[in-house]
Amino acid sequence: MSIRALALPLLLVVSTPIAAQTVATAQDVSRAAWLSGCWELRVGGRTTQEQWMLPAGGTTLGMSRTTLRDTVREWEHLYLGPTAGGIAYVARPSRQIETAFPAVQLSDSLLVFENPAHDFPQRILYRRRGSDSVIARIEGMRDGQLRGVDFPYRRVACTGP
């Protein structure tokens, strides 16, 4: 899931904080292999696509783009792997500086990253729902309230020329 998602008019809901988890280690990045491939969310004329490479060398790379009809509205480069502070999800959204979200949990069905110092979101999650569905979520404090936005992605074929 990516930070550019703030522009999407999706479900804005109050959520419950996640209980403390164990901090991820370099070998845990391979546990995110289930996220590899192409994912898509369509709402009206807006399409968000996210694509992740298989983990290799202790890292995985991703990218996303949101289009409204035929116009790109947002894009993002994503990195999951070792940083100076440990394993992190590093997002570089369109026209913004990159931000690191240290890993809190990497498992076969849930990825959780947190950065309490970031404006919004402070938490990014990916929850596996079977082999063809992922719920990405961003959440954090906004205007004094805990808020969250869900992005229900479905697996799609990765296409090319």
Phi-psi region of 4 (alpha: psi -120 to 50; beta: other; left: phi over 0): alpha
Contact 129, 135 (CB under 8 A): yes
Sign of CA dihedral 26, 30, 31, 35: positive
Whole-structure pTM value: 0.82
In angstroms, the CA 105 to CA 79 distance is: 16
pLDDT at 15 (0 to 100): 35
Placement of tokens 């590899």 in the chain: 36
In angstroms, the CA 140 to CA 49 distance is: 23
pLDDT at 4 over 80: no
pLDDT at 135 (0 to 100): 97
Domain parsing of the chain, residue ranges:
3-155
What pLDDT, in 10s, does the model give residues 87-142?
A: 999 999 999 999 999 999 999 999 999 999 999 999 999 999 999 999 999 999 99
Topology of domain 3-155, per CATH?
Lipocalin (2.40.128)
